[in-house]
Amino acid sequence: MLEADYLVIGSGLAGLYFALRASEHGRVLIATKRAASDSNTSYAQGGVAGVLDPDDRIETHIEDTLRVGDGLCNRKVVESCLREGPEHILRFANELGVPFDRGPDGQFELGREGGHTARRIVHAKDTTGAAIHRTLLQRVMERDDRIQLLPDHLAIDLLTTAKYGGPNAVFGAYLYDQTTSEVKTATARAVVLATGGAGKVYLYTTNPDVATGDGIAMAYRVGARVANMEFFQFHPTCLYHPQAKSFLISEALRGEGGILRLRDGTAFMHRYHEMKDLATRDVVARAIDSELKRTGDDHVELDMTHLPGDFLLDRFPNIHQRCLELGIDMRRVPIPVVPAAHYCCGGVAVDERGRSSVRNLYAIGEVSMTGLHGACRLASNSLLEAMVYAARAADDVKSARSDRPGHVAPWYAGEATAGDEAVVVSHNWDEIRRLMWNYVGIVRTDRRLERAAQRIDLIRSEIRDYYWNVRVSGDLLELRNLALVADLIVESARRRRESRGLHYTLDHPDHDPRLARDTVLARGDGPVV
């Protein structure tokens, strides 16, 4: 049995920053399902949004966030989060030592991204997330007297008192050790979900393999409220190349003057929005989707060739290097791009301190739904949100009281024998991701959603049979979560009979003011069980 004051699930920005701060007052156990660096955080390119330029104003950042959120942001949350954000950015830079880019005068070099009306993105070249992650991990390692990090430990399910009688409270989790196949029991005063996003639910995604929505699924299974799952952000520009797996071409390229063109060289964004290539992601992704459908092409192009070559090399060394490996020199030829699933705006519904609706269960970072993003996330607000909520949760968790029962039942593997039908698992993975891409993607319809719901229902019942009959494996556990998350997305999308933010349906193309509210799902409330 593993024991700590706080059990953190996930080792991205949210989990590591929480652990550092909470280690001031308790022992922290971090379980992470692969290597510590396997996270969306490590892939972030653009940077962190925050008002740090004296000529910029918090009010403008607030207005930008609310406008992009399309009527669903929680204004109080937006205001407090964006006001608190810059102090964390400064702490990351000055106390933790993240090497954000600075000009000769020592001031941050600020980038601009879609939807922002000012330059306010702090970055470390085009590998900001990796720089943040490396630094945070180093700081966590230095606290090994207070923080224990367990790589290759995949959280299966949360432990709750409901099973033992009494009100629902979380007191730990079962962890699957991927190296030994052993299932361990971990208990704590509070459990913090920092499991990141769910991009793997779609066929094409910018997310790494760990992003299978596990935290959302685990929280939903113990009765926590989950909200706004219909709002999945598609990044407009993922590299289109048969040998490139999910490589993002950052929005910052358009921020620096990149122009989207059809394959014949025609620019098209002016036909879709007055901000042209710097319109918000949902507008740009839909514009590309519509142009691809109209022309029959399989990609569009991002043209950087009119910008100075030296500047491109200096500002985007990582992207340049990756493209060059594939024979694309962005100084000379345009970069082929397509949209891909990128960011899950919905998640475990939490209050201003990161508390879910179930006692002693917190959710921070991409796994959560705080009210900051509303119906569409403003670029680079997510790392900021992860910083703010990790810090708040670390302060709040101090007062959590243990609900652990006297005796905790160990994991029961039953009569299950090792699974010899891996092909069923991989088939279902593939089917879910394809049907989500085709039926629940950038443009939706009632019929497509209905079809998706029927298929997912069937797949989930198949998984349920399979799950209880074989010994668990990492793939099977992730598949079970992925299928539930797909179901939650489809159910939320079916309930929103209007178009808003990232949710666009041909059958209800306009806003319906009566639906300007969150879509909240909880076990027992509706069709998803």
Ligand X SMILES: Cc1cc2nc3c(=O)[nH]c(=O)nc-3n(C[C@H](O)[C@H](O)[C@H](O)COP(=O)(O)OP(=O)(O)OC[C@H]3O[C@@H](n4cnc5c(N)ncnc54)[C@H](O)[C@@H]3O)c2cc1C
Determine, following the binding rule CB under 6 A, whether residue 495 of this chain makes contact with ligand X.
no
* Residue 85, both tokens: 């954000």
Q: Does 365 bind ligand X (CB under 6 A)?
A: yes
Residue 356 binding ligand X, by CB under 6 A: no
- Does 43 contact ligand X by CB under 6 A? yes
Per CB under 6 A, which region of 39-47, 354-362, 433-441, 515-523 contacts ligand X?
Answer: 39-47
Beta partners for 157?
174
Structure tokens at 525: 């409330």
Nearer to ligand X, 64 or 505 (CB): 64
From residue 301 to residue 340, what is the string marking binding to ligand X with x (rule CB under 6 A)?
----------------------------------------
Strand 170-177, strand 183-187: pairing: antiparallel
Span interacting with ligand X, options 45-53, 164-172, 291-299, 464-472, rule CB under 6 A:
45-53
Residues 191, 196: Cα–Cα separation, whole Å: 15
**Considering only residues 418-477, where is the footprint of ligand X by CB under 6 A?**
none
**3-state class (DSSP) for residue 264:** coil
Q: Does 15 bind ligand X (CB under 6 A)?
A: yes
Binding of ligand X at residue 277 (CB under 6 A)? Answer: no
Strands (E), 333-457: 335-344, 347-349, 361-363, 368-369
DSSP at 461:
H
Indicate the residue among 40 and 499 with the shorter CB distance to ligand X.
40
CB nearer ligand X, residue 44 or residue 453: 44
Residue pair 198/492 in contact (Cβ under 8 Å)? The answer is no
Residue 50 binding ligand X, by CB under 6 A: no
Please report whether residue 389 would count as binding ligand X according to CB under 6 A.
no
Q: Do the Cβ atoms of 7 and 158 come closer than 8 Å?
A: no
Q: What is the strand order of the sheet 347-349 is part of?
A: 368-369, 347-349, 226-227, 520-521
Judged by CB under 6 A, does residue 11 bind ligand X? yes
Which residue lies nearer to ligand X by CB, 212 or 360? 212
Q: Is 112 a catalytic residue?
A: no
Coil, helix or strand at residue 446? helix
Buried b (16+ CB within 10 A) or exposed e, 484-508: bbbbbbbbbbbbbebbbbbbbbeeb
Read off the amino acid at residue 176.
Y
Q: Does 196 bind ligand X (CB under 6 A)?
A: yes
Q: Judged by CB under 6 A, which of 316, 343, 389, 504 binds ligand X?
A: 343
Query: Please, which residue, 282 or 452, has the CB nearer to ligand X?
Result: 282
Instruction: Please say which residue, 38 or 70, places its beta carbon nearer to ligand X.
Output: 38
Q: Is 210 in the site for ligand X (CB under 6 A)?
A: yes
Q: Are 120 and 61 in contact (CB under 8 A)?
A: yes
Binding of residue 64 to ligand X (CB under 6 A): no
Q: Which of 47, 86, 258, 374 is close enough to bind ligand X by CB under 6 A?
A: 47
Q: Which conformational region is residue 347 in: left (phi greater than 0), alpha (psi within -120 to 50 degrees), or beta? A: left
Spell out the SS3 assignment of 117-140.
CCCCEECCCCCHHHHHHHHHHHHH
Binders of ligand X among 242-261, rule CB under 6 A?
248
Among 25, 34, 67, 451, the residue binding ligand X under the rule CB under 6 A is 34
DSSP reduced 3-state for 261: strand
Site for ligand X contains 207 (CB under 6 A): yes
**C-beta neighbour count of 60 within 10 angstroms:** 15
Which span sits near ligand X by CB under 6 A: 30-38, 83-91, 278-286, 322-330?
30-38
Q: Is 380 in the site for ligand X (CB under 6 A)?
A: yes
Does residue 347 belong to the site contacting ligand X (CB under 6 A)? no
Complex with ligand X: residue 153 or 455, whichever CB lies closer: 153
DSSP type of residue 95: I
On whether the CB atoms of residues 157 and 221 are closer than 8 A, the answer is: yes
Residue 492 contacts ligand X per CB under 6 A: no
**Which CA distances in Å does 174 have to 2, 182, 236, 387, 400?**
10, 10, 38, 27, 20
Q: Considering the candidates 281, 392, 433, 448, report the single residue annotated as catalytic.
A: 281
Smallest gap from Cβ 8 to ligand X, in A, equals: 9
Q: How many CB atoms lie within 10 A of CB 414?
A: 10
Q: Out of 4, 8, 9, 393, which residue is the one contacting ligand X (CB under 6 A)?
A: 9
Q: Out of 86, 129, 255, 346, name the contact with ligand X by CB under 6 A.
A: 129
Query: Binding to ligand X by residue 33, rule CB under 6 A?
Result: yes
When asked if residue 85 is in the footprint of ligand X (CB under 6 A), the reply is: no
The yes or no reply on residue 130 touching ligand X (CB under 6 A) is no
Tell me which of 383, 387, 463, 502 binds ligand X, using CB under 6 A: 383
**3 state SS for 23-69:** CCCCCEEEECCCCCCCCCHHHCCCCEECCCCCCCCHHHHHHHHHHHH
Q: What string marks each residue from 134 to 173 as x (binds ligand X by CB under 6 A) or -?
A: --------------------xx------------------
- The number of residues that bind ligand X (CB under 6 A) is 42
Distances (CA, A) of 155 to 135, 173, 363: 25, 6, 14
The two tokens of residue 22 are 């909470």
Question: Residue 376 in contact with residue 281, Cβ under 8 Å?
Answer: yes
**Which of these segments, 29-37, 84-92, 219-227, 402-410, binds ligand X (CB under 6 A)?**
29-37
The yes or no reply on residue 26 touching ligand X (CB under 6 A) is no
Among 39, 280, 360, 492, binds ligand X (CB under 6 A): 39
Q: Which positions touch ligand X (CB under 6 A)?
A: 9-15, 31-34, 38-41, 43-48, 128-129, 154-155, 194-197, 206-207, 210, 214, 248, 343, 365-367, 380, 382-383, 386
Active site residues per annotation? 281
